[in-house]
Structure 1
Amino acid sequence: MKNSDIFLKLYNKFDQYMRKEFDKGSRSGHRYLIDELSRSNNLFKFYRDDLKQFAELRNAIIHNTHITDKKDGIAIAEPHDEVIERYRNVLNKIYKPKTAIDICKKLYNRDAFIANKETKIITIIKEMYDKTYTCVPVIEKDHLVGVFSENVLISYIAKHETCKIIETSINDIIDLIDVRQHQGEFFVFCKPTETIYDIKQFFLDDKIDDKRLEMVFVTENGKKHEKVLGFITAWDLID
C-alpha cells in the first residue's frame, strides 16, 4: 500500500472519530472541527497545529493528482515514512491519552518521597538537596496535611530568631505547611481521569497572584479533603 493510501486511511479514521466522539455533524469541515475542539479540549489544543498541517497534506493528496490513462490519478504528494509515523503517533495519543493516574507518583512507590507529622525537617531538607526537590507532601492516613517547601523553610527561619532545625519536626511547623498559606507557590487537585494534556495546561497557566504551580494532587473527585492517590510535578510530564 502506498504511503498516500495509508495516510488517507489514518485521516478518514480520525475524521470519523471526531464526528462520533464529540457528536459533530457531517457538514463541518475537518479543520473547522480541529479548531472548534481546541477551544474546549486541551488534548486537541496541544496538537492543533500538527493536526491542521496533516489536514493540509490530505488536501494536497486528494485535490492534486496527475490524470493518467488509468482510471485513478496519481497523487502528487506522497508522504514520507516519517510523516506517516508522526501522524500515527499523534493520533494514538489522542485516541488513548495518558491520564493523571497513569503518570502520577503513587504515594508509596519508591520514587515518591513523602513526609508525615513526625518527620524531622532536617531529613526532608537533606532529601530535597539530594534529589533537587522543591516541595515534599506531608501525608497522614493517605490525606494531605500540607506541603513542605523552600518557602516554608524560609518562613520558619524568619519567624524564629533562634531555631533548632535538627530537633524540629513537621508537627512544630504545622501552621506553615497548609497549602492555603504558601507565599510563593500553589497547588491543584485533579481527578484520576484528567488527561496528561489537562495537567500540562495547569502548568502552562501556572501563575496565580504571582505564585507558581508546584504540584498537582490526584484524588478521587479532585477534592482537597479526599484521599491522595498520587501527585504530579512538571518533571513527570516530560515525554
Structure 2
Amino acid sequence: MKYFEKLEQFNMTNAYKFLDYYNELDLLLAKALNQADYVSFRDKVRDLSGKNAVIKRYRDDLFQLGNLRNAIAHQTKGGAPIAEPFEETVKLIQKILEEFKNPKRVIPAFQFEVFTVTPDTPLINLLQEMKTQNFSQAPILDHDGKVIEVVSTNTISRWLIAEYENQLIDLTAAKISDLMPHVETKENYALISRNTTVYEAAEIYLKKSKEKKSQLDCLIITQNGKPTEKLMGIVCIEDIAPYLMD
C-alpha cells in the first residue's frame, strides 16, 4: 500500500487525524503491555503481536504506519508536517484502533439457533433440516447434552458410498449412529467461548487444523467453550476466512 505523498500545497486535516489516532493507539499499546517507561511504537507492536490477535493481524501495516508517523511528526515545513496521508491510510489506522479497543467477537457475530442431533436421530430428519436451513454441519450430542462429534455432508457422502457398495442403502431406517464410523477425522472441531474475538477464532482454526492435519469442520461456540454448555453458534471456514492472516 502507498501510505503517503508529499504535497507543496496541502490540507492538514488528514495529517492531524492520523496523528490523533496514532497517539491514542500508542497509549493503548503501552497500557496493554503495562509499560511505564518509553518504548518505541515498533517495539510495542512487536511485543504485543505475540499476545493480541488484532495486533498480530495488522503487524506489518502498523510497522509502516509507524514509519509514516515519524515522517509526519519529524519533517516539517514552517512548523507543519510535509507528509500528508491518503484518506485510505487514515481509515486504516482508525480501523485498527477501533478493532483494538472493541474487537469483534464471535457472539453476536455468529450467533444463531444451532440444529443438533443425537446418535438416535433419524438421518432423514437431518437431511430435511440441511435442505431447509441450508447448513452443512451438525453437532452430535450424547444423552447428557455433551458434544461428542460433528456430522457433515462429507460424512453423509462417505456413508452413502459405503452403503451403495454393500447395496444396503435405506435412508428411512438409517440413524446418525450409522454415520459416526464414517467421520473422516474424529473430533474434527474445536469449542470456543462466546468472548473469543474473530481474529482469535481464526488463529484457533488454523492451529487446530494443523494439529489435526485436516481442515476443521467448524468451531462450536458456547458460553465458556465447554462441551456441556448450550450451543450458541457455529463458525465455518467460510465465516472465518476474512479474518485469517494473509
Please state if 1:152 is matched with 2:155. Answer: yes
The answer as to whether partners of 1:151 and 1:184 remain within 8 angstroms in 2 is no
2:40 to 3, 21, 29: 29
Structure 2 counterpart of 1:77:
83
Structure 2 counterpart of 1:233:
236
For residues 228 and 142 of structure 1, what CA distance do their matches in structure 2 show? 10
In the TM superposition, what are the counterparts of 1:1-239 in structure 2 within 5 Å? Answer: 2-66=13-77, 68=78, 73-106=79-112, 108=113, 112-117=114-119, 119-125=121-127, 128=130, 133-139=135-141, 143-157=146-160, 160=163, 161=166, 162-170=168-176, 172-173=177-178, 175-176=180-181, 182-183=184-185, 186-205=188-207, 206-237=209-240, 238=242
Q: 1:174 to 1:214 in 2, by over 3 A?
A: closer
Unaligned residue ranges in structure 2 (runs of 5+): 1-11
For residues 57 and 48 of structure 1, what CA distance do their matches in structure 2 show? 14
Q: 1:130 to 1:50 in 2, by over 3 A?
A: farther
Q: 1:187 to 1:199 in 2, by over 3 A?
A: same
What is the percent sequence identity of the aligned residues?
27
What is the deviation of 1:118?
5.2
RMSD across aligned positions (CA): 2.9
Secondary structure of 2:216's partner?
strand
Structure 1 stretch 39-48 or stretch 55-64: which is displaced more? 39-48
Deviations 1:44-88 (A, max 9, x none): 11111121121111000011112x3xxxx1211011223212221
Under a length normalisation based on structure 1, what TM-score does the superposition of the two structures give? Answer: 0.80
Structure 1 stretch 45-54 or stretch 18-27: which is displaced more? 18-27
The answer as to whether partners of 1:191 and 1:218 remain within 8 angstroms in 2 is yes
Deviations 1:7-47 (A, max 9, x none): 11111111111111231233211011101111222221111
What is the deviation of 1:214?
1.5
The answer as to whether partners of 1:138 and 1:145 remain within 8 angstroms in 2 is yes
Secondary structure of 1:89's partner?
helix
For residues 111 and 122 of structure 2, what CA distance do their matches in structure 1 show? 22
For residues 212 and 13 of structure 2, what CA distance do their matches in structure 1 show? 54
Under a length normalisation based on structure 2, what TM-score does the superposition of the two structures give? Answer: 0.78
Deviations 1:119-172 (A, max 9, x none): 4323434554677644222357764243212343245346652131232132x4
Q: 1:114 to 1:226 in 2, by over 3 A?
A: closer
Unaligned residue ranges in structure 1 (runs of 5+): none
Q: What is the number of equivalent residue pairs in this alignment?
A: 226
For residues 88 and 214 of structure 2, what CA distance do their matches in structure 1 show? 41
Matched residue type, 2:196 = E
